[in-house]
Amino acid sequence: MLWPGLKKLGKELNLKRTDSELAGTVKNCFIKLYDGNNMKVLELYAPEINDDDKDTISEILNKNKVKKFEWIPKGIKIIFSEYVVPYSIVKIKNILDELVVYIENKYPAQKPECQHCSKQKDCDVYSLGNTAVFICDDCYNEIEEKINSENMEQQFVPGNYFSGFLGALLFSMPGIFLTIIFFVFLDSLAAISAVVYIFLGIKGYKKFKGKVSPFGVCIISIAGLIMIAVGVFISYCLFIFKELGEINFELLQYILSMPEVQRELIGNMAISYAVSVFYLVFQIIHMVKEWKSGQYIIKAKDLTKGKDSS
């Protein structure tokens, strides 16, 4: 997500965007801007950068009271921490202006390199799996061909959905013990353990080579819902045995046939499902992103026009 302040700065600098980053050239530097957790981040890539440049850039940042930064190949990653209020966009722009002016004066005849072949050629900003990259036409064609080839191969990768389903069920089983501990021994609501079923189910699905795809997400969801029901039912039965003081299956069957007991059992399952839904949705979004990541390369969007630049 990009906050309005960064978008405004991006428009001023004529940058382009992916879903989560702004990127483009400022003078003879390639830059990326994006929001992080309690921070804004500026990545600046120069045509050249040596030890003297690092000393000068460090002085500029120290003068502006910027303490967090790290050196990256041919550039620097600057972190503007935000704790109570957002970091001033004006300050970020002023620091950026000072840095790019220094680089332009130091290397006036050079321009930023292609991030793939490291040659100083005419480049453009592309979105590669939602990450902004600065590459030349030749590298774009090479990457696009590779991605198309991988996507074609991926279509023929075995789904392993049945083995993935078994893996999700098997790995979810420890969640039953957690439900029993909460429900039977601690006399507490065991709904929170529903999250464990989903978490372990995903681990098991992948461990058994289940294919990450929309259908795979459905398989994991079904396995999780099944194991939640099984865990609650087993825990409820053990709770009844605990209250009876003996293991009596005939009496258990009679008790479970009572409408008020059935309502209570269904109610506990419903609460567990409700708790699991939030985590399940979060994991589904994450897995869909994983499925989509790296499967495309397109030109980054023009901020001012709101469409792919061409």
Q: How far apart are CA 106 and CA 33, in angstroms?
A: 23
Give the pLDDT confidence score for residue 306 in this predicted structure.
Answer: 46
Residue 302 lies in a domain: no
Both 68 and 145 in one domain: the answer is yes
Residue 310 lies in a domain: no
User: Of 298 and 165, which is predicted with more confidence?
Assistant: 165
Q: How far apart are CA 208 and CA 165, in angstroms?
A: 8
Q: Provide, rounded to the nearest whole percent, the portion of the chain with pLDDT above 90.
A: 41
* Residues sharing a CB contact under 8 Å with residue 264, sequence separation 6 or more, in sequence order: none
Residues in a beta bridge with 45: 30, 75
* Mean pLDDT on 215-223: 86
By residue range, what is the domain housing residue 218? 161-292
HSE-up of residue 11 (Cα within 13 Å, Cβ side): 10
Relative orientation angle of helices 259-292 and 249-256, to the nearest 10 degrees: 80
309 pLDDT higher than 60: no
Both 19 and 41 in one domain: the answer is yes
- Residue 298, H or E segment: strand 297-299
89 pLDDT higher than 90: yes
Q: Provide, rounded to the nearest whole percent, the portion of the chain with pLDDT above 70.
A: 90
Both 132 and 180 in one domain: the answer is no
At residue 66, φ and ψ (nearest 5 deg) are: -100, 115
* Residues sharing a CB contact under 8 Å with residue 55, sequence separation 6 or more, in sequence order: none
Residue 109 lies in a domain: yes
- End residue of a domain, out of 132, 151, 170: 151
Domain count, the chain: 2
Among 78-92, 150-164, 239-253, the range with the most confident prediction by mean pLDDT is 78-92
Both 113 and 169 in one domain: the answer is no
Residue 86 lies in a domain: yes
Mean pLDDT, the chain, rounded, equals 86
pTM, rounded to two decimals:
0.61
At 44-76, the pLDDT tens digits run 999 999 999 999 999 999 999 999 999 999 999
Both 107 and 223 in one domain: the answer is no
